[in-house]
Amino acid sequence: MGQRTYSCLIADDDLEAHLVLNSLLSQFEGLSIEGHAYNGKVAIDLLQSKHFDILWLDIQMPLVSGLELMQVLPNRPATIITSGHTEYAFEAFQNNVVDYLQKPILLERLKVAYEKALIYIDHVLPKNAIDTIELKSERKVVTLKVADIKFLKSMGNYVKVFMKNEVHPIIGYSSLKEMNDRLANSGFIQVHKSFIIKKSEIVKKSQTEILLKDGTQIPIGSKYDYLVERFLA
């Protein structure tokens, strides 16, 4: 069998940054540059229409920033930040980036990031949808069937999970971000800073909210609107 080739997308609003990365990455065996995006919206379109193994992502981009892209697309390729600014590093790592490179990027530093990405792809990235999810609730761990979850609502360090055939939501100790990361491959999407919903529960969408089968109206956050449109297309 031949060596696997890893596909990557470069997302940066600076043409020079694309040219530099093209030149440097061309020196790595087993890596193929399969896409270029010059703003966050184009990057989202490409990520949702084609498979990529690695995303080289700038922070400051028009329309949708790199940070916003990561927040609305938790289910994304191994992500390496390439930025001229260091002040976004903490928030980037909170969104599970593999590495954070400051421009100008040196070849040896880029190689280290690439090797980290390969480890992340092989050992960390989720491969399949999940059937159940565990949640710590009232001093015990409960196992929830993913098929029975309708939507989730954030309560700071806690989350309310609204289930089918349950009058009251289950309250557990977890952030919404953690739940979003765990459910991203199972037909769920974050539509607001406080809400995650299941696609199959959606009846219709207006400009500002989503109506679910049980009659619940969920607001759509402004930074999530474009992703919701793509998700429902």
Please write the tens of the pLDDT for every residue from 26-50: 999 899 999 999 999 999 999 988 9
| Residue type at position 22 | N
Q: Which residue did the predictor score with more confidence, 223 or 46?
A: 46
Q: pLDDT tens across 154-193, in order?
A: 998 999 999 998 989 999 999 998 898 888 778 898 899 9
Torsion of CA 63, 64, 65, 68, to 10 degrees: 150
**Residue 48 in contact with residue 33, Cβ under 8 Å?**
no
Q: What CATH number was assigned to the domain covering residues 6-123?
A: 3.40.50.2300
The answer, as to whether pTM is greater than 0.85, is no
d(CA 176, CA 190): 9
Give the C-alpha separation, 91 to 76, whole Å: 17
Terminal CA-CA length for the chain: 38
Q: How far is CA 111 from the centre of its chain?
A: 24
Query: Is pLDDT above 50 for 2?
Result: no
> What six digits make up the tokens of 174?
């977890």
Identify the pLDDT of residue 164.
Answer: 94
Where are the chain's structural domains? 6-123, 132-232
User: Which CATH class, in words, describes the domain spanning 132-232?
Assistant: mainly beta
pLDDT digits over 67-89, tens only?
Answer: 999 988 888 899 999 999 999 99
